[in-house]
Structure 1
């Protein structure tokens, strides 16, 4: 019913039904040592993310969102606590986890296709296998006709599609995305949101997506994780009980607007804590 509050859950039941845990975060803390004292980025964080689930994380700047993603990705070590993927503790980067950052990080001297093939080459695939996989994922993100172009010839949105295709091509089980659309204009951002959802529905990866944009979180996610002001903790978990497929017209739905406003008010309260 329009205007009804979003459901706050324990995180073990989502729209798609009961599924096995994919990522288990237990009592996770991260403290950065500095000349002016310690900074507690994360404190006693607990979260379970399910197989094939799409989760978005929102919260004020400095609340530890990126730190959490980096620890899941094995790019940083926690101070205490643990992260497990399929029951195995994360000790560093792994092929089952792919990362997409806000900056495209493409090799400017390689073509679009060769950029997508890069991770496949590291994994020892043959030239033909690399070509076939790159073509498949470039077609999936709508860039098949730009396979032989160079990054300097692409728009920002196209570069980000290449980065997404490259991450998908190595077929990670978990896709970690740190504000991948944050630097794009509104129209390109909306287009890539829809394309990402279509790709996720076809490929069924587990997606952990960080954003500052509450509207983006609600259009993409099955659950939205609200993080508190520093020290970062899981403040609230909200089910987005809006059926897929979703597109930009979904944003006009009264239910969408109600959930977005509810989450925004909670995030804003955390922002006010930061600015006190």
Structure 2
């Protein structure tokens, strides 16, 4: 499908998506009539109160959950399961502890039946891209949390998906490591230009990374507002000291906090 905006292709099309979970006390509406388009190579961050359905929406896009109503299309094809050009990075690293960094990054390529030599070369290039060139033969237990998450990101990129889905990938990291990985992700995205759907609770992070920020309402999750982030790339942590950044961050924080207060009523 082609967008009328700058002739970009719609990479992710979310149409009338609702999700209801059946619980012991009755139905639990996690998402209600969500409509959203992400353009090819666009970076979008998603924020909102805890329990607003952000992760549920990501899992539906990833094909890990089915919507109760509505549909999701990625690259023009309806999502009917995992894979299909989608890479997922979760907060927990989900690395295979018995595999080296090199073998972890090669894993998705092996599933695609890529030859051993080619997958070795591809994996090595992405390991270098995330700054772990000297750790290809290390095992996960030998790595810090930030290094493990870089391996997870390299593995997702190495499979060459059109879409990268990230669920609070830096949420468990200390502030310094988080800042480093934010810049690393920005640099990688600017080189690779994937469509990124990035969930975060951190308003500063959302504004630093994204071209648009999606604010979701409290449960049931709906899209309350879409904020265009008019800040130029390339971006770095230095952006955080500028008036332009802080004006956007503070305005977004007020909206998020207002939604949180509504949720607590």
TM-score, normalisation: structure 2: 0.97
1:72 is matched with 61
Equivalent pairs, count: 263
Name the counterpart of 1:152: 141
- Partner Cα distance (1:258, 1:114) in 2: 44
Normalised by the length of structure 1, the TM-score is 0.94
> Runs of 4+ in structure 1 displaced over 4 angstroms?
none
**Which residue does the alignment assign to 2:233?**
244
Paired position in structure 2 for 1:256: 245
1:46 and 2:48 equivalent? no
TM superposition shift of 1:215:
0.2
Q: Please say if residues 12 and 48 of structure 1, whose CA atoms lie closer than 8 Å, have aligned partners that are also in contact.
A: no
Q: Secondary structure at the match of 2:240?
A: helix
- 2:126 matches 1:126: no
Distance 1:249 1:200 in 2: 18
Deviation of 1:273 (Å): 1.6
Match of 2:94 among 105, 116, 119: 105
Instruction: Kindly indicate whether residue 9 of structure 2 is the aligned counterpart of residue 20 of structure 1.
Output: yes
Separation in 2 of the partners of 1:141 and 1:86? 26
Partner of 1:167: 156
Distance in 1 (CA, whole Å) between partners of 2:75 and 2:126 is 25
Q: Equivalent of 1:225, from 200, 207, 214?
A: 214
Q: Which residue of 39, 52, 56 corresponds with 1:63?
A: 52
Q: Please give the alpha-carbon distance, in whole angstroms, between the structure 2 residues aligned to 1:119 and 1:81.
A: 29
Match of 1:115 in 2: 104
Please give the per-residue CA displacement for 1:71-128, whole angstroms capped at 9, x wherever unaligned: 0000000000111112211111123000000000001111010100111111101110
Cα separation, 2, equivalents of 1:25 and 1:257: 31
Consecutive unaligned residues of structure 1, counting only runs of 5 or more, are: 1-10
Given the alignment of the two structures, is residue 234 of structure 1 paired with residue 234 of structure 2, yes or no? no
Question: Are residues 1:32 and 2:21 paired?
Answer: yes
1:141 matches 2:130: yes
| Residue 267 (structure 1) aligned with residue 256 (structure 2) | yes
Where structure 2 has 5 or more consecutive residues not aligned to the other structure, the ranges are: none
- 1:229-265 deviations in Å (ceiling 9; x for gaps): 0000000000000000000000111010010011111
How many Å apart are 1:48 and its aligned residue?
0.6
CA distance 1:66–1:219, change in 2 (3 Å): same
Cα distance in 2 for residues equivalent to 1:210 and 1:179: 5
| The 10-residue stretch of structure 1 (122-131 or 229-238) with the greater mean CA deviation from structure 2 | 122-131
| 1:8 matched residue in structure 2 | none
Q: Residue 92 of structure 1 aligns with which residue? A: 81
Distance 1:83 1:112 in 2: 33
3-state DSSP class of the match of 2:26? coil
